[in-house]
Amino acid sequence: MGLIDVHNPLVLVFGILGNIVSTGVYFAPIPTFISICKNKSTMGFQALPYMVALFSSLLWLYYSIIKEGDTFLLITVNAFGSLVESVYVIIFIMYATPYGKKQTFKVLSVAMTLCLAISLGSYLFLNGPTRAAVVGWICVGMSISVFAAPLTIVFQVVKTKSIEFMPFLLSCLLTLSAMMWFAYGMFSKDLCVTVPNVLGFVLGVIQIALYQYYKQKSKMISLPEIKLPEHIINIKVSNSEVYPVDSSRSSGSEVVEEEEKETKAPEDGGGEVVEQYKGVVKAMVDDEPCGVEVVDVKPILITCAA
C-alpha cells in the first residue's frame, strides 16, 4: 500500500488541493501576528480561534493515524496545522496582558487535557473501526467549532459596527477549504470528513456576507477639503486697535481717513483748554467677509496759559 491512494484520482486531486488551501488558512493570520510582534501587544485580538484550531488539528491528526486506509494527505495537513497553530498561541501568550495570559493558559490547559483524555481513552477502551468512528465524530464536532470560532469576532463586529477585527481572508480560505475537503470526503467515502465541511461552507458564506454588510455600513463619506482664499493687508500703524468690519459697507478697495476734534474745558474752572485730535484709519476689502477696521488714536495735549 502506497502513501497516497491513486485508485481514485479525484481523491488525490482534492486531497492535494485541500492541503494547499489549508496551508493558506494556517498562514492567513501571519499579518496579524506580525503586527502583534511589532506593537508588542495583542491589540484586542482573541486567542480562542487559534486554540480551537490547535485542538482540532491534534484530534484530526490522531484520527488520521488510527483510521484504516490511505490517510496520508490528512496526516500531512493536520501535522502542519498543529505546528503552525502552536506557534501562534505561543506568540499570543508572549505579548498578552497578564490577565490575557491567565485566561489563555486556562483555556489551553482545558483543551490539552481534553485532547489527551480523548486519545488515551479511545486507545485504551476502544478497538479498530469503533475507535476511529468515535474519534472521527468527535473531530466532526471540533471542525464545526473551528468554522464557527471566527463568529466570536463576528459578534464583536456586530456590537462595534466595525470590521477592524474581522478575519475576512481567513473566512474566505475556510470556505474554500471546506469545499475541497467536502469533495475529498465524498470521493473517499469518509463521512466524518464530509459532514463538517458542509456546515463549514454554510458558516463561511454567512461570515463573508456579514463582512460585506458591515463594510458598506462602516464606509465614511470623505468631504472635499475647502480652502478659503487668503487676503493679506499690510498696514503700518502704531498704537492701533482692530475691529471687525461688515464687508457689505465697502464698494471698492479704499482707505478712509477721518479726523475729529474734541475740546474739553478744565473741570476746575482754570484757564487751561485741552484739545484732542483723533485720527481714524479704515482699511476696507472689496466684497470680502474678512474686512478689518483699524483705528489709530493719537491724543495730542495742548496747554494754553490763561
Is the separation of the CB atoms in 112 and 104 below 8 Å? Answer: no
Among 101-110, 153-162, 228-237, 290-299, the range scoring the smallest mean pLDDT is 290-299
Q: Whole-angstrom Cα distance, residue 23 to residue 173?
A: 9
For 244-276, what is each residue's pLDDT tens digit? 545 444 444 444 444 444 555 555 555 544 444
pLDDT for the residue 57: 92
> What cell does 288 get?
470680502
Is the separation of the CB atoms in 273 and 302 below 8 Å? Answer: yes
pLDDT for the residue 281: 44
Whether pLDDT at 85 is above 90: yes
Whether pLDDT at 41 is above 80: yes
Whether pLDDT at 75 is above 80: yes
pTM: 0.64
Q: Whole-angstrom Cα distance, residue 114 to residue 108?
A: 10
pLDDT for the residue 79: 96
Residues 112-135: what's their mean pLDDT?
92
> What cell does 91 get?
506568540
Q: Residue 259's beta-bridge partner residues?
A: 279
Among 104-113, 199-208, 296-305, the range scoring the smallest mean pLDDT is 296-305
238 half-sphere exposure, CB direction, 13 A CA radius: 2
* One-letter identity of residue 211: Y
Whether pLDDT at 40 is above 70: yes
- If one compares 287 and 78, the residue with the highest pLDDT of the two is 78
